[in-house]
Structure 1
C-alpha cells in the first residue's frame, strides 16, 4: 500500500492549484479530490497514508477520474491496488499515427485491420486488387463465407493463423467472445479453437486467386499499434515477379476504365460492433 499511497499523493500534488481567496495551495486539497472521487475525506486521507482498506474497482475508477489520470496512469493505479486493469473500449476509426503511415503508402497495397478482423481502411490500390473490403470482417468472410479466393492447399494454415491470433486477442479483450461464439458455426473454426493455439500475427506469405488475373503471391509485413488493437498490413510483390506484372495489368485496366478511386486517400470507418 505504500506504493499506492505515494502514487496518489504525487498525482494530487501535480494537479493545478486551487485558489481559495487566502492562499494558493500546492496542488489540490485532499477534500477536493475526495469530493470529486465520491468518497469521504477520511477514507481518502487513509489511502494516502497507507492506512486505508483495499480500494474497490468503483473506488479506483473514482480516483482515476478525480486525479485526472491518463490511460497509462490509470492502468498503473489498478496494478498498484492489485486489481486487473479494466479493458479499454476498442478505438473508433484509424489511429492518427496509423492513418499517417497509410496515407504515405497510397501507391501500395495496404490495409488497416482491427484485432477482431474488421477492415478499417485501405489504400485505393488495395481496393483495386481486393475489392470493396472496407467495413468487412475478414474472419467472418473466411470461416462463414466463400473461401474460393484462397488456394485450397493454403486454407488450413491460414485458418490456424486466424484462430491463434483471435485467441491472443480474447486474452486481452474479453469482448471478443461474441465473435468467437459466432464463428463456432464453422466446423473448421470449432476444430481449431479446441486446439488452444495462440500466436500474434506477424510477417507472412499470402497467396490468393484473383478472378481476373489469377494467382497472386505477396510478402505481408504486419505493423501493430502499441495498443495491439490495430494493424497495418502491407502486401509486397517482389519486383520483376509474375505477381508484380499481374498487378500492373489490374491497375492499368482500372485506370483505363476510370475505376481507380480518386482522390487517393484513406477510407476510414468505425470497427464492427457486432
Structure 2
C-alpha cells in the first residue's frame, strides 16, 4: 500500500475540525477563529512536535510510523473504522487486537482531570492515560511501545518497583502472575499473551517461580500503596471498570476525602502536572 499524502492531510484536517477542546479534556481558552482543535493541541495530545503534525496536514510530511498513527488515532478520538482508514491512507495495514480505545472511553478518561486514571489491556499494556496518571505512575507515552506493559516493567525494570513500598512488592508480583495466568487460560491461543509469558519466564526467576505455583486470579478493585518520589506515600482505592471492548479496563485511583493520601493526591495534581509541563 502507498502513502496518500493529500487524502491523509484532508482526513486529519476534517477530524481535527470536528473536535471541541472540551471533547479532549482541554479548556476553551482564548476566542477561536476556526472550529475544532488547534494543530498545536492535536500535536500535544499525540505526543509529537507541532511542526511535524503541521507538515502532515500540509501534505509534506514524512511517512508516519505506526506508532505515530496510533497516537493520532487516540488524539483525534477516532472510531475503530476511522483508525483503520487512517492507517490505509498512510499505506499501512491496520493493527489487530484490542489496542484501540473507544472514543467514549477516552471521553470518560478526559473528564477525570483531578483523578489518576488509565486504560490498560488485560495483559498489562497501558493504552491511554490522563495527566494525573502520568504524574502518579509515569508517562507511558514517553516509553517505547514494548516498555509500556505494566507486568513486563515490574519484573524486568527495577525502577518500576520503586513506585511501591518494599513490603508490598511480593504481593504485587504474585497478583500480576496470577492475573496473567487467568488471561492465558481464557485465551490460550493469544500469541501476544503467550509471548509475554515466555519472555518473563526466560528473563525473570521470580516470575518463573511464581508461574509454577499455578495460581489464577483476575485483578479487580483493591487498595494500593504508592511511594511517589515527590509527594510521598499514598494509599489509594483502585477501581477497575471493564470496557465493552474485550480485554480493556479503565482503572481509577481515588483517596478517601480528608485523609493524608487525599491531600497528597491534591498536591500531586499541582507538582506532578508542573513537572510534566516542563518535560
Fold match (TM-score > 0.5): yes
Q: Does 1:162 align with 2:176?
A: yes
2:197 aligned partner: 180
Q: Is residue 128–residue 260 contact of structure 1 (8 Å, CA) maintained in 2?
A: no
Counterpart selection for 1:145 from 157, 161, 182: 157
**Equivalent in 225, 239, 249 of residue 243 of structure 2:** 225
For the residues of structure 2 that align with 1:258 and 1:170, how far apart are their CA atoms?
38
Q: 1:159 to 1:231 in 2, by over 3 A?
A: same
- Tell me if 1:243 matches 2:261: yes
Deviation at 1:130, TM superposition (A): 2.0
Structure with bigger helix share is 2
Higher relative contact order (CA 8 A, sep 6+): 1
After superposing on structure 2, the runs of 4+ consecutive aligned residues of structure 1 that deviate more than 3 Å are 257-261
Counterpart selection for 1:212 from 226, 230, 253: 230
Q: Residues of 2 paired with 1:258 and 1:198: CA distance?
A: 38
Per the alignment, in what secondary structure is the counterpart of residue 120 of structure 2? strand
1:199 is paired with a residue of what secondary structure?
coil
Q: Does 1:198 align with 2:216?
A: yes
Question: TM-score, structure 2 length as denominator?
Answer: 0.57
In structure 1, the partner of 2:115 is 108
Distance 1:207 1:142 in 2: 15
Query: Aligned with 2:128: secondary structure?
Result: strand
Higher-Rg structure is 1
Pair 258,202 (structure 1): closer, same or farther in 2 beyond 3 Å? closer
TM-score using structure 1 length? 0.58
> How many residues end up aligned between the 2 structures?
173
Q: Deviations over 1:192-239 (max 9, x none)?
A: 110111111110111121111211111100111245411000001111
Alignment gaps of 5+ in structure 2: 1-95
Contact residue 98 and residue 245 of structure 2 kept, 8 A: no
Contact 1:90 1:229 in 2 (8 A): no
